[in-house]
Amino acid sequence: MLFDTHSHLYFEPLSDDPDGVIARMLRNGVDRAVQIGCDIPSSLKAIELSWEYPEFLRATVGIHPSECTSLRIEETMEELESILIQNRDSIVGIGEAGLDYHWISEPPGDSILTEEELRDFHITQQKSIADIQKIWFRAQAELAEKYHLPLIIHTRDARKDTLACISDFPVNFAIMHCYSEDPDFAYALLAHSPEIYFSFSGILTYKKSDPIRETARILPLDRILIETDAPFLAPQPVRGSVNESTYVRYVFEQLCAIRTESPEEIEQTLWENSCRVYGWR
Ligand SMILES: [Zn+2]
């Protein structure tokens, strides 16, 4: 039995045929999946999916770093909390939250800036985006802590700040979603809190992912989870196609290929880890 700990079944084209996605998932021994919210509307869709398929799906509610703006932070967090209170049985985590410095806004197309001005623009932009993302990150960390739920953390090109936030806020119970860093970063996080889990996605199967495979090879097995992040990041054997929960099997197979434990032990431990972290018995 496999458990896809992170997916977005409400995104097109998966949302066109959720019955088909669920049927294929069950046929291939993937028995559970968690639907991750990225903003208020998608969090509500994730909850609705968990109502429709209560045996197989649960939801999280949260604001993705790419959705963070300087507007309505307090109201939105209040709304998120009231959604959480009203749907406590369906919701198993907060997020995805975190920091994403990959995309920096471009200056207006018609501006004529010198190279130095352009560099300054980028630094200023990046700084203010980072500050706003940190405010949302902290607010969601507090919400997760208040309800004893795991915080699902997205981090991209922001390793130093992510580590600083996790120890400052602090965050003690979390899932590093789509883990794409080396072992040093993982051990720095584990040194901060033993209740941090590492979820590996299709990226684990890509050719250039040696540092990520090394992390998955050496981490304690009881800290490891697997996910699809569907419809994104299809694993190598199906790369380029729409990802879906059934393909979490490729991530599992890659993990088995690099670990010393038997596939049976890995499968059983991943299942127990996933049920434990999400409190889904
Ligand atoms: Zn995601």
Angle at 214 between CA 209 and CA 216, to 5 degrees: 95
Q: What is the pLDDT of residue 262?
A: 98
Q: What is the pLDDT of residue 196?
A: 98
171: CA distance to ligand 1 center in Å? 19
How many C-beta atoms lie closer than 10 Å to residue 249's C-beta? 19
Q: What is the pLDDT of residue 108?
A: 59
Element (H, E) at 57: strand 57-61
How many C-beta atoms lie closer than 10 Å to residue 98's C-beta? 31
Q: What is the pLDDT of residue 278?
A: 98
On the question of a cis peptide bond just before residue 170, with omega within 30 degrees of 0, the verdict is yes
228: CA distance to ligand 1 center in Å? 9
SS3 for 148? coil
d(CA 56, CA 34): 8
Residues, CB within 5 angstroms of ligand 1 (ion): 229
170: CA distance to ligand 1 center in Å? 22
Which residues are CB-contacts of 279 (< 8 A; sequence separation ≥ 6)? Answer: 92, 149
d(CA 138, CA 222): 27
Q: What is the pLDDT of residue 115?
A: 81
What rounded mean pLDDT belongs to the chain?
94
Task: Please say whether the dihedral angle defined by the alpha carbons of residues 244, 246, 252 and 257, taken in this order, is positive or negative.
Answer: negative
Q: Which two tokens stand for residue 237?
A: 């054997």
On the question of a cis peptide bond just before residue 145, with omega within 30 degrees of 0, the verdict is no
Show the low-confidence residues of the chain (pLDDT under 70). 104-111, 126-127
CATH says 2-278 is which class? alpha beta
Q: Taking the complete model, does pTM exceed 0.85, yes or no? A: yes
7: CA distance to ligand 1 center in Å? 6
How many C-beta atoms lie closer than 10 Å to residue 196's C-beta? 22
